[in-house]
Amino acid sequence: MPSKPLLAKTSQILYGGDYNPEQWPESVWEEDVRLMRRAGVNLVSLGIFSWAKLQSDENTFTFEWLDRGMDLLVKNGIWVDLATATASPPPWLSVRYPDVLAIDADGRTYYHGSRQHYSPSSPSYRKFAALLVEKIASRYAKHPALVAWHINNEYACHVHNCHGPASTEAFRAWLQKRYGSLEALNNAWGTAFWSQHYYDWSEVFTPRKTPTFVNPCQQLDFQRFFSDALLELCKMERDILRRITPDIPVTTNFMSFLKPLNYWDWAKEIDFTSWDSYPDPLPGQRGDLVASMGHDLTRSLKPGRPFVLMEQCTSHVNWRPVNATKPPGSMRLYSLQAVARGGDGVLFFQWRQSIRGAEKFHGAMVQHAPAEKSRVFQEVCALGAELKKLGQVTGSLIRSRVAVIVDWHAWWALEMPSKPTEFNYQSSVAQFHRYFYENNIAVDFVTPDTNLSSYALVVAPTLYLLQEKDAQNLDAYVRKGGAILVTCFSGIVDRDDNVLPGGYPGYLTKTLGLWVEEWFPLGLDEKRIVQFGKGKKLSARKWSEVVHLEGAKALATFQEGYLKGRAALTRNSLGKGEALYLATELNTKDLSYFLDALIRDIDIKAPLSVPTKVEVTLRENGKKRFLFLLNHNKKPVRIDLKKNSGLELLTHKKIKRQIQLPALGVAVIELD
Ligand code: GLA
């Protein structure tokens, strides 16, 4: 089913950036809108860091400058994604109400003078943020420029926890709701261990500085609590906005795989997802790959709805040790990649490069150099003109037959200390995503409780924490004909991080047709040979274990030492489907060898076979199909389109049989 346009007023690709007019004299604003029109900008995110300029004490608000900004923008045909301005509380607020300030695990305060220094549970922050949102929403509810609400900004980008008195109280309340009684908490947290039994709620704290490992379930619950506490704030703002402007969609800008926030919960609460993408342009960093994973996550978080790339940079950022500049042409390529992977908007941080403050060396659409003479601005204008040609792509969706499971609870629990080895959840997930990306196979991210019936293959990388009901969902998916690949150290603990005894991987043993007796983690430089039948030898690393087959068959075995001849990779036929298990980690090349065979078996294919480093995606909208071809090579490529033909939308040329793409070139073909 085709989706609705993101914004009621347009079926254009959204194009623009963060606009901070408060940093400039109003004489510059006229020039801004002139250049915006020239660049094809149709949307700006306004007022993100304006709180201090909008409110000078408890009762005094100054909106006139923002009124003039909004009026000027709409007069020039530019819409506004209006921020609620709550991301950086003004100094007067934290001086008068010190409970606003967040406090870290060592008891140190985060002061104003930067940004995002607020405690999510601070009653004063909540009170004044709500008041500000109410004022802004009421004032601009009917303003013709307003098309979307931008709640706060990059929640948890800098501050990942707070241990102040208000947070401690809020954590206790959260636990009371979760467990109902102290007895249940003591049981879940396993407080019989190391004399941690609690007799009164006032004894329970956030996980502050301790001599050694903090109780794991306490840490896990604190991560859950912190994500929820910020989400409560976001919902508080959203509820005010929806009450005053029920027809204006709300978003908040995500940050791809941001560990502190369980974005699955968050995405349900907003109208469309958006994210900020800052891949490192330094040669060798594979920015395209990193960005593709963020696009795929942001799209997957809200199925059936395109997303917006809310921020990226035109040229370079200011916060890495070396801030490489995107080479000419690559900003366009990265922007069109966002559209290719399901985005309906391409925006930047920021419109005009600052000359003061901590971000004055961060690139922008209008750089320090005179706009009309700047390479960057020329590229910005050219991109704006091209995006205008892609209006009909808006609302179209990507259909994936492959899914990779991502679960924040499993991520948090896996990376807590005192494990058999150090796992990195995101890199386990990324290894699989990379395979599908590089093979041009559309891939979604899903949770373990998703209805998986539309997928032909589901991969569950290191799903350390797994609830019984979710394991049952995976089992049912396999029995009905699905294929699942589970990797090592999955299904080890339940939702409270308590081990399921009686053989790993807990609730999955029957699905996988095996059980695991013990582990042999490998040293950083250790390798193991794993052999497929009598054939190909693959290189394994990080992990090995003793697998006992109970129905599953070994596809590959370890070749050395105590594990010689034991299963390293297994396949279990179950009902109409198959469950595979990888009892180690393969290097990326060898993983491809195995996955190539697997997807051949399941008959999963790319839309088109193309030279390496050419990205292919397909967006669909009813009968309309848009084929995106992106050449990430520094040289031209010729692509055989097989029987495909259609209209290339950027050049408006009919294309048949083949197409030539220049270095970093892109084609968007509406297929016949
Ligand atoms: C984030 C923030 C922006 C800006 C950029 C700089 O994305 O949301 O305000 O600081 O980083 O890269």
Q: Quick count: other Cβ atoms within 10 Å of Cβ 56? A: 12
DSSP annotation string for 365-409: SB-SS-GGG-HHHHHHHHHHHHHHTTGGGTT-B---SEEEE--HH
Specify whether 31 is catalytic.
no
Specify whether 359 is catalytic.
no
Inter-CA distances, 393 with 294, 334, 342, 347, Å: 20, 17, 9, 17
Cα(278) to centroid(ligand 1), Å = 9
Cα(167) to centroid(ligand 1), Å = 26
Domain C-terminal end among 550, 580, 602: 602
Q: How close are the terminal C-alpha atoms of the chain, in Å?
A: 19
Q: Are 326 and 316 in contact (CB under 8 A)?
A: yes
Domain count, the chain: 3
The CATH number covering residue 637 comes to 2.60.40.1180
Cα(349) to centroid(ligand 1), Å = 6
Instruction: Mark whether 318 and 376 lie in a shared domain.
Output: yes
Q: In what order do the strands lie in the sheet with 624-631?
A: 614-621, 624-631, 666-671, 637-648, 653-661
Token pair in block for residue 629: 């071809």
Cα(484) to centroid(ligand 1), Å = 38
Instruction: Mark whether 580 and 654 lie in a shared domain.
Output: no
Cα(360) to centroid(ligand 1), Å = 12
Q: In what order do the strands lie in the sheet with 577-582?
A: 443-446, 402-405, 457-460, 483-487, 577-582, 567-574, 553-558, 527-532, 537-541, 585-586
Instruction: Mark whether 125 and 271 lie in a shared domain.
Output: yes
Instruction: Mark whether 528 and 406 lie in a shared domain.
Output: yes
Cα(154) to centroid(ligand 1), Å = 8
In ligand 1, which atom is closest to the CA atom of 313? 12
Residue 235 CB-density burial (10 A; 0-12 exposed, 13-18 middle, 19+ buried): middle
Residue 409 lies in a domain: yes
Domain residues for the domain of 664 are: 614-671
Residue with tokens 């819409």: 79
Q: Which residue among 30, 31, 64, 154 is the active-site one? A: 154
**Per-residue pLDDT at 5 exceeds 80:** no
Confidence of residue 7 (pLDDT cuts 50, 70, 90): confident
Residue 554 lies in a domain: yes
Residue 382 lies in a domain: yes
Token pair in block for residue 282: 């330094």
Ligand 1: which of 276, 278, 298 to mutate, most ligand atoms within 8 Å of CB? 276
Phi, psi of 574 (to 5 degrees): -140, 120
Cα(48) to centroid(ligand 1), Å = 10
Residue 101 lies in a domain: no
Domain C-terminal end among 567, 602, 637: 602
DSSP 2: P
Rounded Cα distance, 591 and 459, in Å: 13
Residue 262 lies in a domain: yes
Ligand 1: which of 20, 253, 275, 359 to mutate, most ligand atoms within 8 Å of CB? 359
For ligand 1, atom 9: residue with the closest CA: 349
**Per-residue pLDDT at 18 exceeds 80:** yes
Instruction: Mark whether 61 and 19 lie in a shared domain.
Output: yes
For ligand 1, atom 12: residue with the closest CA: 317
Instruction: Mark whether 592 and 493 lie in a shared domain.
Output: yes
Q: Quick count: other Cβ atoms within 10 Å of Cβ 573? A: 13
Sign of the alpha-carbon dihedral angle for 31, 33, 38, 44: positive
Looking at residue 179, what is its pLDDT? Answer: 98
Rounded Cα distance, 632 and 613, in Å: 5
Cα(107) to centroid(ligand 1), Å = 27
Q: Are 645 and 656 in contact (CB under 8 A)?
A: yes
For ligand 1, atom 4: residue with the closest CA: 349
Q: Are 69 and 26 in contact (CB under 8 A)?
A: no
DSSP annotation string for 140-206: HTT-TTEEEEE-SSSTTSS-----SHHHHHHHHHHHHHHHSSHHHHHHHHTTTGGG---SSGGG---
Encoded amino acid at 32, one letter: D
**Model pLDDT for residues 436-473, shown as the tens digit of each residue:** 999 999 999 999 999 999 999 999 999 999 999 999 99
**Model pLDDT for residues 327-369, shown as the tens digit of each residue:** 999 999 999 999 999 999 999 999 999 999 999 999 999 999 9
Confidence of residue 8 (pLDDT cuts 50, 70, 90): confident
Rounded Cα distance, 659 and 657, in Å: 7
Q: Which residue among 237, 311, 438, 615 is the active-site one? A: 311
Sign of the alpha-carbon dihedral angle for 326, 328, 331, 334: negative
Spacing of C-alpha 120 from chain mean position: 21
3-class secondary-structure state, position 67:
helix
**Model pLDDT for residues 622-644, shown as the tens digit of each residue:** 999 999 999 999 999 999 999 99
**Per-residue pLDDT at 76 exceeds 60:** yes
Of 358, 602, 372, which is closest to residue 482 (Cα–Cα)? 602
Rounded Cα distance, 2 and 622, in Å: 6
**Per-residue pLDDT at 4 exceeds 90:** no
Cα(255) to centroid(ligand 1), Å = 10
Find the mean pLDDT for residues 618-624. 95
The chain-wide mean pLDDT, for the chain, equals 97
Instruction: Mark whether 364 and 465 lie in a shared domain.
Output: no
Sign of the alpha-carbon dihedral angle for 370, 376, 377, 378: positive
3-class secondary-structure state, position 532:
strand
In ligand 1, which atom is closest to the CA atom of 255? 7
Give the pocket of ligand 1 (CB within 6 Å).
Answer: 153-154, 276, 278, 311, 317, 349, 359, 362
Encoded amino acid at 487, one letter: T
Domain C-terminal end among 370, 392, 414: 392
Q: What's the per-residue H, E or C state across 583-643? A: CCEECHHHHHHHHHHHHHHHCCCCCCCCCCCEEEEEEEECCEEEEEEEECCCCCEEEEEEE
Instruction: Mark whether 411 and 388 lie in a shared domain.
Output: no
Looking at residue 3, what is its pLDDT? Answer: 65
The CATH number covering residue 150 comes to 3.20.20.80
Looking at residue 10, what is its pLDDT? Answer: 78
For ligand 1, atom 5: residue with the closest CA: 349
Ligand 1: which of 45, 349, 350, 354 to mutate, most ligand atoms within 8 Å of CB? 349
Residue 65 CB-density burial (10 A; 0-12 exposed, 13-18 middle, 19+ buried): middle
In ligand 1, which atom is closest to the CA atom of 48? 9
3-class secondary-structure state, position 361:
coil
**Model pLDDT for residues 214-271, shown as the tens digit of each residue:** 999 999 999 999 999 999 999 999 999 999 999 999 999 999 999 999 999 999 999 9
Instruction: Mark whether 145 and 61 lie in a shared domain.
Output: yes
Q: Are 41 and 384 in contact (CB under 8 A)?
A: yes
The alpha carbons of the chain give a radius of gyration, in whole angstroms, of: 26
Q: Are 301 and 263 in contact (CB under 8 A)?
A: yes
For ligand 1, atom 3: residue with the closest CA: 349
Residue 550, C-beta contacts closer than 8 angstroms, at least 6 positions apart:
509, 513, 514, 515
Residue 341 lies in a domain: yes
Looking at residue 9, what is its pLDDT? Answer: 75
Residue 156, C-beta contacts closer than 8 angstroms, at least 6 positions apart:
226, 227, 230, 258, 260, 261
DSSP 562: G
Cα(35) to centroid(ligand 1), Å = 22
The CATH number covering residue 419 comes to 3.40.50.880
Ligand 1: which of 48, 311, 350 to mutate, most ligand atoms within 8 Å of CB? 311
For ligand 1, atom 11: residue with the closest CA: 349
Kindly state the percentage of the chain with pLDDT values over 90: 98
Instruction: Mark whether 524 and 627 lie in a shared domain.
Output: no
**Per-residue pLDDT at 2 exceeds 60:** no
Rounded Cα distance, 114 and 565, in Å: 58
Instruction: Mark whether 590 and 665 lie in a shared domain.
Output: no
Q: What's the per-residue H, E or C state across 628-652? A: EEEECCCCCEEEEEEEEEEEECCCC
DSSP 55: B
Residue 201 lies in a domain: no
Rounded Cα distance, 665 and 242, in Å: 42
Looking at residue 581, what is its pLDDT? Answer: 98
Find the mean pLDDT for residues 547-567. 97
Looking at residue 548, what is its pLDDT? Answer: 98
Residue with tokens 């080895």: 421
Token pair in block for residue 452: 């998986």
In ligand 1, which atom is closest to the CA atom of 253? 8
Instruction: Mark whether 338 and 438 lie in a shared domain.
Output: no
Q: Are 462 and 490 in contact (CB under 8 A)?
A: yes
DSSP 100: G
Report yes or no on whether pTM surpasses 0.95: yes
Angle at 278 between CA 274 and CA 282, to 5 degrees: 160
Residue 218 lies in a domain: no
Q: What's the per-residue H, E or C state across 239-280? A: HHHHHHCCCCCEECEECCCCCCCCHHHHHCCCCCCEEECCCC
Q: Are 83 and 241 in contact (CB under 8 A)?
A: no
Of 265, 274, 255, which is closest to residue 223 (Cα–Cα)? 265
**Model pLDDT for residues 397-422, shown as the tens digit of each residue:** 999 999 999 999 999 999 999 999 99
Sign of the alpha-carbon dihedral angle for 560, 563, 564, 567: negative
